Amino acid sequence: MSGQVSPTGTGSGNGRYLAFLRENARWLSASYLLAVFSGFGQTFFISLSGGDIRAEFGLSHGELGLLYMLATLASALTLPYVGRSLDHFPVRRIAAVVMTGLALCCLAMAASFSVWSVALAFYGLRLCGQGMMTHTSLTAAGRWFSAQRGRALSIAVLGFPTAEALFPLCFVVLNNQFGWRGAWTVSACVLFLLAMPVLLTLLARDRVPSVAEVATARPEGRQWTRREALRDPRFWVVSCGVNAPAFIGTAIFFHQVYLVELRGWTLELFASAFLVMAAGVVVASLTVGPLIDRFSARQLLPFTLVPLSLGCFVLGLVHAPAAAFIFMALVGISNGFNSTMVGALWPEVYGTRHMGAIRSVAFAIMVFASAAGPGLVGWLIDLGVAFDLQIFGMGLYCVLFCAVLAAAARAYRPIEYS
């Protein structure tokens, strides 16, 4: 049975927003929890057992990093093929398969017995967790909601800072109690015994917008196929801009030990700034969601890299400890803005009929960017290129692409998104 939801277009702004949350709690909660539990396949969680894996299997930092990069790239290559399944099967069925796969990969990590078994576990965690769980969360939210797409995506995106705030602490506690293999076993149990029953209950009914809601939404116009979207130069130009946060953020976080040594900071100081980043994500995503519904993602596209460019300039030019917190706050704002805006942009400009296939490619490009960042920056460090100069160059790239994205936004004709 499908759930048909009435529009929330009357009353005050706060009243409409609260009514929207209340009437759509089932589907908003499902999108949010899919994002939360994707944390088991995200870098911030997997990396917590990196030291134990290196010690047990005799790997160097570089060897483990190369293994992880190859697994991430392999997952990015696979995602366009499995991601389009969202265009053909119900969200509930996809979620059940993906969560089962993610839980089994957690068990595979716990039972790893060789370097190659670790590599396969990495691949599965990245594909099922970072890849398909995130892809399912954002694609479902973008498809379920039309008039309120920005608000829905802003709620779904909150799952990522939630996982960043809770999962590392939980892993450390479990690691101290049961060891790193025990921690991964408990992670699998959480997915099997908690995440799956809750999410499959929430997804028992698919959301179908009411006739009135569809009437008040912007008409989607042309429904692009994946082949048509990939032949559109604007898709690639926009991708080069909106994936800058993935490249820059992953590169700097991966080399954070090198950064704090250069600055004379402590690793604890930089780690504490992640809380500021999480707060920035929450504030930005909740703010930009209603703005998308009011103005459209296309009109907000040119501004998505402004916070990140400022953050890079601060980190590259200021060496005082306060720069770490300012940088992380701006990165959080950029991530919250960018994730919500991009989640709404692709269905706006290319329609929702083939969104699973199109977004799977867009997400694979993001994964490639996040995998390439640490390697390229590390290579430049080995060549003697100053880290400050690299960070400043990242800021200049963001400024350049603010102008490029403004031109791309104008290039999308209103008939294609409005």
> Which stretch of 93-102, 183-192, 205-214, 220-229 has the lowest confidence by average pLDDT?
205-214
**pLDDT of 1 above 50:** no
Write the DSSP assignment of 228-267 as a string of letters.
HHHT-HHHHHHHHHHTHHHHHHHHHHHTHHHHHHHHT--H
Domains by residue range for the chain, with CATH? 11-217 (1.20.1250.20), 221-418 (1.20.1250.20)
Q: Which of 417, 412, 405, 72 is nearest to 240 (CA)?
A: 405
Pairing label, strands 207-209, 3-5: parallel
**pLDDT value at residue 2:** 45
**pLDDT of 364 above 60:** yes
- Helical axes 306-317 vs 387-411, angle rounded to 10°: 170
**pLDDT value at residue 369:** 87
Q: Is 206 exposed, middle or buried (0-12, 13-18, 19+ CB in 10 A)?
A: middle
* The pair of three-digit structure tokens given for residue 393, joined into one six-digit string: 């160059």
**pLDDT value at residue 216:** 54
* The pair of three-digit structure tokens given for residue 401, joined into one six-digit string: 């692409």
Rounded mean pLDDT of the chain? 84
CB 409 within 8 A of CB 323: no
Reported confidence tier of residue 215, pLDDT bands at 50, 70, 90: low
pLDDT in tens, 308-348: 999 999 999 999 999 999 999 999 999 888 888 888 888 88
Tell me how far apart the alpha carbons of residues 383 and 77 are, in angstroms, rounded to a whole number. 29
**pLDDT of 219 above 60:** no
**pLDDT value at residue 292:** 84
pLDDT in tens, 17-72: 677 778 888 889 999 999 999 999 987 788 778 778 888 998 876 677 778 888 88
pLDDT in tens, 81-97: 888 888 888 889 999 99
Helix (H) or strand (E) holding 5: strand 3-5
**pLDDT value at residue 211:** 56
Between these two residues, 69 and 217, which has the higher pLDDT value? 69
